């Protein structure tokens, strides 16, 4: 990723059919101010709302939702126990209520 994420670490990358998402410990993506998570549309970087208060360690995409896990206490300004969901169609954060442990499991249907 070259100098796109200066003085920072990228720990997670995931892609939908439209976007590439990158998460880590950065506050700048290609000159755009972000908060630990960013979105690439093929031409430019965008923040995901107000981002994540802490570090993003893992990303996964399913059905136009981005699942975000890491060492953080809030996503999009909402309290969260180290997990959040970016709902792509509505461009908003969902912060599930959890007891510090979230297990996600899905399988691919043919």
Angstrom distances, CA of residue 86 to CA of 38, 47, 59, 76, 92:
11, 11, 10, 9, 6
| Average pLDDT for 12-28 | 94
Instruction: Please write the tens of the pLDDT for every residue from 59-95.
Output: 999 988 999 999 998 999 888 888 999 998 889 998 8
**Each residue of 24-45: b (16+ CB within 10 Å) or e?**
bbbbebeeeebbbbbbbeeeeb
Residue 52 burial (C-beta neighbours within 10 Å; 0-12, 13-18, 19+):
buried
Whole-angstrom Cα distance, residue 40 to residue 107? Answer: 26
Tell me the whole-structure pTM to 2 decimals.
Answer: 0.83
């Amino acid at each position: 990723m070259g100098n796109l994420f200066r003085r920072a670490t990228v720990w997670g990358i995931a892609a939908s059919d439209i976007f590439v998402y990158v998460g880590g410990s950065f506050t700048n993506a290609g000159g755009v101010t972000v908060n630990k998570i960013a979105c690439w549309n093929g031409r430019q970087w965008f923040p995901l709302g107000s981002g994540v208060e802490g570090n993003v360690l893992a990303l996964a995409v399913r059905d136009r939702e981005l699942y975000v896990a890491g060492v953080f206490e809030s996503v999009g300004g909402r309290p969260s126990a180290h997990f959040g969901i970016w709902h792509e169609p509505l461009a908003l954060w969902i912060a599930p209520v959890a007891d510090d442990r979230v297990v996600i499991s899905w399988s691919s249907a043919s």
